[in-house]
Chains A and B, each alone.
Chain A
């Protein structure tokens, strides 16, 4: 037996011994899993989970009544006319809401952005203290507007301006001006800053610096994001109807309350179709505009 074989053997043994060492990630993983389980236990208590209700929906229960007359979907003339009107209303709420949000968002983004700061030219891109202090409350306002969910705005506004689509339009306008404003501001600050800086440095008014230095680079992204948000607003306006803000959602809520399963089914089908069409349209628009 040559002497180097035993040497090889011992080194393989050392290697297997090394492999048998415990998994270094075992302790943190175990700890994480235990924390999860500990957190989930009260979650199970608070959520009062009971899956069995899904399966014992006999015909005496509300769900049974709803499912019982769900087929065929409602298709009488009067209901379809009503549905057509609600669908148009939903579409119009989304469009008008975004149209109201857009100018507010643009103005807020222009005021809050750092990209057009004169002082930033000489100070390595950081604006003057006064400018920062003035921009801060505006940024906070934008955060507040978009952090309250749109349906909460709708609920508040239904009580302020009354039931109907105007509450929905205002709710979308308020929360989406916050969202669009923040994103516009970020787009202004993320495009190439050199044209705008050159213009500001050469003494151009800041609105001109924006129009000629920033807007050409930012317009495509801004449009594409706005169209995407319109699609979101369409979905949101359907949901907002549930608190009385008009459109398909309000119709759906009424039909649900009357246990009219066939109407619920028709409305859901129309809603799915609407979302699908909006998705296609928004894809087409984004491709053409960008």
Chain B
């Protein structure tokens, strides 16, 4: 009789079970710590109030003058994201060269540290700081987007710089080309498409982000939403939220279409 080969017994995953237990303890502790108590919210009176509040959002204000103001704010949002991303791409290139070690080790560490700090602080915090520095309005939002995105793009650009094959640049150096020539004709052509792709990807992110930066006063759709909600104008706020959604859907489908058209080949 042929013996069926025994499959090895699956290892007892004690560590996995322990981790899951720890996670459960963490969840219980978190809910205890916050003293979350939704029983007050669940009372009929407050439920009724909440329903009244949210029902007001179902009748968005679609009058021409309001729509025009929204259109203006949407253009402001788009402008902030485009200029912010462009600035970030320029500064990112400037910082990625030292961060990839083109100007020695000291410059490399300084540039990397700077990029890490820029990237680690979220856009909204930058926006709050920039509102202090530059005053209310879209300029603050543009600067905030540029600062955070510089950190992101600078790091991505530096990584591609480090991973790019050095053959073409070495050949140009070997045949007597200057460093700048070698970089422009040996390194840049292979990097260029990747840098462009990263920049477009971040632009997509920034469009989404710039629509909420206005919550701290940095212009665009967010500022409009914040003002209308503060004035308890739910109908006007609802149409701003609808515009945000439309903007996000439009950007998503455009980027999907472009990706399928140009990257699938």
Count residues of chain B with CB under 8 A from any CB of chain A.
57
Q: Are B125 and A99 in contact (CB under 8 A)?
A: no
Which residues of A in the span 28-77 have a Cβ within 8 Å of any Cβ on B?
A: 39-40, 42-51, 53-54, 57, 61-63, 66
Contacts of A171 in B (CB 8 A): none
Which residues of A in the span 74-114 have a Cβ within 8 Å of any Cβ on B?
A: 88-89, 91-93, 95-96, 99
The yes or no answer to A148 lying at the interface (CB within 8 A) is yes
Q: Are B229 and A47 in contact (CB under 8 A)?
A: no
B246 to chain A, nearest CB (A): 10
Residues of A whose CB lies within 8 Å of any CB of B are: 39-40, 42-51, 53-54, 57, 61-63, 66, 88-89, 91-93, 95-96, 99, 144, 147-149, 151-152, 155-156, 159-161, 165-166, 169, 235, 238-239, 242-243, 252-253, 256, 268, 271-272, 275, 285, 288-289
A49 to chain B, nearest CB (A): 5
Q: Are A43 and B82 in contact (CB under 8 A)?
A: yes
The yes or no answer to B36 lying at the interface (CB within 8 A) is yes
Q: Are B34 and A169 in contact (CB under 8 A)?
A: yes
The complex places the Cα of A253 from the Cα of B122 at a distance, in Å, of 14
The yes or no answer to B149 lying at the interface (CB within 8 A) is no
Residue of B nearest to A99 (CB): B27
Binds A, one of B92-100, B106-114, B159-167, B210-218: B210-218
Q: A54-B133, A61-B133 are in contact. List 16 more A-B contacts (CB 8 A).
A: A42-B79, A45-B79, A46-B75, A46-B78, A47-B142, A89-B34, A93-B34, A152-B212, A152-B244, A160-B53, A166-B36, A166-B41, A242-B215, A252-B125, A272-B120, A289-B16
Total number of A-B contacts with CB less than 8 angstroms?
147
Q: Are A161 and B41 in contact (CB under 8 A)?
A: yes
B249 to chain A, nearest CB (A): 7
Chain B: interface secondary structure? helix
Q: Are B16 and A57 in contact (CB under 8 A)?
A: no
The yes or no answer to B121 lying at the interface (CB within 8 A) is yes
Contacts of A256 in B (CB 8 A): 128-129, 132
The yes or no answer to B248 lying at the interface (CB within 8 A) is yes
What are 25 A-B residue pairs whose CB atoms fall within 8 Å in the complex?
A: A43-B78, A43-B82, A43-B83, A46-B76, A46-B138, A47-B79, A49-B83, A49-B142, A50-B134, A57-B133, A66-B129, A66-B132, A88-B33, A92-B30, A95-B26, A147-B245, A147-B248, A152-B212, A169-B36, A242-B128, A242-B215, A252-B125, A272-B120, A288-B15, A288-B16
Q: Are A149 and B212 in contact (CB under 8 A)?
A: yes
Residue of B nearest to A61 (CB): B133
A16 to chain B, nearest CB (A): 20
B200 to chain A, nearest CB (A): 11
Q: Are A239 and B124 in contact (CB under 8 A)?
A: yes
Q: Are A285 and B19 in contact (CB under 8 A)?
A: yes
Residue of A nearest to B76 (CB): A46
Q: Are B133 and A62 in contact (CB under 8 A)?
A: yes
Given contacts A54-B143, A62-B133, A149-B211, contact A155 B15 (CB under 8 A): no
The yes or no answer to B50 lying at the interface (CB within 8 A) is yes
Residue of A nearest to B121 (CB): A268
A-B pairs, top 8 by smallest CB distance, nearest first, are A46-B79, A92-B30, A63-B133, A95-B30, A43-B79, A53-B134, A43-B82, A47-B83
Q: Are B249 and A155 in contact (CB under 8 A)?
A: no
A221 to chain B, nearest CB (A): 15
Which residues of B in the span 205-255 have a Cβ within 8 Å of any Cβ on A?
A: 208, 211-212, 215-216, 219, 225-226, 229, 241, 244-245, 248-249
